[in-house]
Structure 1
Amino acid sequence: MTVDGEVRTPMVRGLPLVGNALRMSRDPARFFVDCYREHGPVFRVRVLGREHAVIAGPEAAEWMGTKEGRESLRSREFWRGLVDEYGATRTLSGEDGPSHKELRDIMRRGYSREAIADRLDEVVAITDRNLDRAWRPGSAVPVLRSMQALVTDQLGELMSGASRPEYVPDIRLVTMYILNVLVTRQHPRLLLHDPRYRRAKRRVAELSRAMIDDRARAGADARPALLIDDLLRANRDNPRAMPDSDLMISVTGPYVAGLDTVANTISAFLYAVLKHPDVLARVRAEADELFARPTLTERDLRGIPAIRGALMETLRLYPIAVVQMRTATRDFTFHGHRIAEGETLYIGTTVPHFLEEFYPDPYRFDIDRYEKPRAEHLAPGAFSPYGRGQHVCLGKTLAEVQMLVTMARIFHRLDLSLESPGYELARKATPTPGPALSFRVRVDGHRA
């Protein structure tokens, strides 16, 4: 139906008071897919009394990369609470346009494949020490907690030159509060007065100061840490772009950006592979061949199509960034529907991950979707695990290498199994979608 030449945007049916909040919280990916199938690429939802426009599907994914998409949306409002809470002036995820580009250029090298490409043996060593400490034969390992510890260890070494495992609980707690209270706003700001959060926040500030001070004193023979080196250089040479007030949030940014997301994906990868014995056999064979080499290079990672396919299929079926949250910078029309300046929007760019027109039998774990001639993910708008538009994840290539090496090493070293053959993954929706803390696997023994 049209009104004055514009299409009337459908409202998704919901419950009194809570609106669509319960369905969204149970399974956000399925919720937006179901709404897209029923209503098309534009609809509206109500969440706890607030109305939001939604644009979704391949139409939204492609539009995000256009000039109109870039100029019609901004992200500042969703990250303003984080910036204010930490006394900063700006953060990469909360800036748009030239300001965003300036910060992105400062951090690009530190979040790139270059930051990890010649340090793969270090990633292996960090993974090994975590497996030796917490993954003992006969034990049932809480996967997500263990992966969070492992990822924090890796990020500390790679990005700041030193691992500080004693801060893992603080980083984990602060990240949870940041995402739940300040970014997604699923919990009230009153929680920021929680003494546990206040203590963890002080500890993370202490960690950032230690990272900055230690790196400033490091000599020429110190291990490389591109991100913190580039941040300190920008602070010294261009303090307008990287003032002292922004250093802490920038230095600890990788933990907020990577801790929950990478740990969730690796945990889901582990479940999906163990759930499919045929995939497990292929992953193990590739991992064993990979680590038969005396040292590991980036070129070697090109020869593991099963592991890479399993990672891509995990990113498709268990997306971390189900939707992107934005504010309309101006009035605009999307597929005939009017969006008003100042409206808050959900952008459902992962909806195509579950559409049969892109992925036949879309809920089946099929690791061969990505090799030619199928290459199903290459259809326009089909694959968006790292977001779309100018805020596409800066660290996606680094994260992919990190995850490929980590998962290959785990399946090479350990004989693992699910707690029962019929186990179905328990999942959480906050602060980001992923496996629940209750998910465990059995360590049946060491393979290598």
Structure 2
Amino acid sequence: MTVTESAPAKLTPTVRGIPLFGSALEMGRDPAAFLVRAYREHGPVFRMKLLGRTYTVIAGADAAEFMNSREGRECLRSKEFWQGMVDEYGSTRTLTGEDGESHKELRELMRRGYSRDAIKGRVPELLEITDRVLERDWRPGSAVPVVQGMQYLVTEQLGELLTGTAPREYVPDIRLLTLYVLNVLVTRQRPRILLQHPKYKKAKARVFELGDRMAADLRARAGQTPPEERNLVEDIMAAHLERPGVIPAEDLTLTLTGPYVAGLDTVANTTAAFVYAVLKHPEVLAQIRAEADALFGSGAPVTEDDVRRLPATRYALMETMRLYPVAVTLIRTAAKDFEFAGHTVRAGEMVYIGTCVPHFMEEYFAEPEKFDLTRYEKPRSEHLKPGAYSPYGRGPHTCLGKSFADAQMALSMARLFHRLDLELESPGYVLKTKTAPTPGPSMAFKVRVKGLRRKG
């Protein structure tokens, strides 16, 4: 949504905040609610002050569509946002921080490894991992910290399916490193002095140890797997050995451990919020149990194609990602001066793109506060309105693993509710959330395992 060059630029309004903090406290409490309020008051372009800094925000369905446009690709870049993480790892580049041809090169290299093909023929393995983790960590009578439980589940699943190893013992280190790097170097919500903390340095050393272990193992068995059967990290190592300019040695730790970082907060936060939403809505719980029992109780082998037999689970996940998005905004740098909705954005400005603002607007989703699976069914299909639904981001950096994650989450959550009888700590419990480094349920959120519904 642009204006002609001859049209006079509008004066961009600034959201009123409080001295020193600006809008930081409101943004920190509930970024989605803040952005929707600011959009309603000021329109699709406004500025906000966060701890003494001023940022431009473009928001709404047109902003989401702008991200997908050629103009959006030319006007916005990702490099600066992720550069601090790249430097901290001693790397040259990372998939999320590259633009243009460099980004296309890395994306193409990792496309197959992150795609739904990575789960093809391996659903029994995915379910076996899920059963193993549930039996170990979700015991009848226990109160399970859900986000942590999901982090261990996701790490073992991604580890075995995408990398061939499940480093459970490194999960606390991966999570701590991710927490510090995102808070300090990416979103810049915390001071750099925190990187001197001994526990961070220890976690960083442990993750680099994991990266070295993975690299050594991959080198030792390089060439043994046919190209069409290689997993994600085998593709990465093959590229390093064959074309070291594409994946140089200094990029290996960041690239090889990337799947854990990508899934640890995003998938774990989404599935934890899903558990809360389903337990909060008994009618949804009944639907999910019924279709999961039908799928897993038949005795027939389950394949990746059977995800289509879980419509309630899939729609509940979609509704969870609408109401509890892990990427409320996308953050980019203006690559050049451009105009959006009549407002000028200057080259070099850091720009917040509120792609998830439409998630909470009745213009796109009827009764947006309501958890409603039918909104995704035909003919409603509210999520298909242009710019309305952006759970996996927008533009050239749209999540590469979204098709894999869709299948992974649907099958895992169906299995969870097939196997276990869960309940919230109290019927009136309202989910507490966090915003740093990524939005999601609080680490204190727990559910009680009442008992087993089915054996594995």
TM-score, scaled to structure 1: 0.97
Q: 1:18 aligns with which of 21, 24, 40?
A: 21
Report the equivalent of 2:168: 165
Report the equivalent of 1:418: 424
Q: Aligned partners of 2:61, 2:233: CA distance in 1, in Å?
A: 37
How much does 1:97 deviate?
A: 0.4
- Shift of the 239–221 alpha-carbon distance from structure 1 to 2, 3 Å rule, reads closer
1:42-89: CA deviation from partner (whole Å, max 9, x where unpaired): 000000010000000001000111111000001111111111111100
**Percent of counterpart pairs with the same letter?**
61
Report the equivalent of 2:150: 147
Aligned partners of 1:115 and 1:225 also within 8 Å: no
How much does 1:289 deviate?
A: 1.0
Aligned partners of 2:28 and 2:435 also within 8 Å: yes
Aligned partners of 1:11 and 1:45 also within 8 Å: yes
Q: 1:134 aligns with which of 133, 137, 140?
A: 137
Report the equivalent of 1:210: 213
Report the equivalent of 1:69: 72
Q: 2:328 aligns with which of 313, 322, 325?
A: 322
1:346 to 2:349 alignment? no
How much does 1:294 deviate?
A: 2.9
How many pairs are equivalent? Answer: 446
1:120 to 2:123 alignment? yes
Report the equivalent of 1:403: 409
Q: 1:257 aligns with which of 258, 262, 287?
A: 262
How much does 1:213 deviate?
A: 1.7
Q: 2:8 aligns with which of 5, 10, 16?
A: 5
1:363-420: CA deviation from partner (whole Å, max 9, x where unpaired): 1000111111111100000100011011111111111111111100100000000011
How much does 1:117 deviate?
A: 2.2
Q: Aligned partners of 2:430, 2:411: CA distance in 1, in Å?
A: 26
How much does 1:218 deviate?
A: 3.5
Aligned partners of 1:161 and 1:224 also within 8 Å: no
Task: Give the letter aligned to residue 284 of structure 1.
Answer: R
Q: 2:367 aligns with which of 361, 366, 369?
A: 361
Task: Give the letter aligned to residue 331 of structure 1.
Answer: D
1:133-170: CA deviation from partner (whole Å, max 9, x where unpaired): 11111111110111111111111111111112111111
1:52 to 2:58 alignment? no
Aligned partners of 1:306 and 1:368 also within 8 Å: no
Q: What is the CA RMSD across the aligned residues, in angstroms?
A: 1.5
1:308-365: CA deviation from partner (whole Å, max 9, x where unpaired): 1000000100000000001101111101000011111100000010110110100100
1:284 to 2:289 alignment? yes
User: Where does structure 2 lack aligned partners over 5 or more consecutive residues?
Assistant: 1-5
How much does 1:216 deviate?
A: 2.8
User: Where does structure 1 lack aligned partners over 5 or more consecutive residues?
Assistant: none
Q: Aligned partners of 1:365, 1:260: CA distance in 2, in Å?
A: 22
Task: Give the letter aligned to residue 392 of structure 1.
Answer: T
Report the equivalent of 1:378: 384
How much does 1:4 deviate?
A: 8.1
How much does 1:224 deviate?
A: 5.7
Q: Aligned partners of 2:340, 2:7: CA distance in 1, in Å?
A: 15
Aligned partners of 1:158 and 1:225 also within 8 Å: no
Task: Give the letter aligned to residue 230 of structure 1.
Answer: D
1:238 to 2:243 alignment? yes
Report the equivalent of 2:3: none
Report the equivalent of 1:177: 180
Aligned partners of 2:218 and 2:234 also within 8 Å: yes
Aligned partners of 1:386 and 1:392 also within 8 Å: yes
Aligned partners of 2:119 and 2:304 also within 8 Å: no
Q: 1:295 aligns with which of 274, 298, 301?
A: 301
Q: 1:39 aligns with which of 34, 42, 66?
A: 42
- Shift of the 162–335 alpha-carbon distance from structure 1 to 2, 3 Å rule, reads same
Q: Which deviates more from structure 2 when the two are superposed, residues 47-56 or residues 249-258? A: 249-258
Aligned partners of 2:109 and 2:236 also within 8 Å: yes
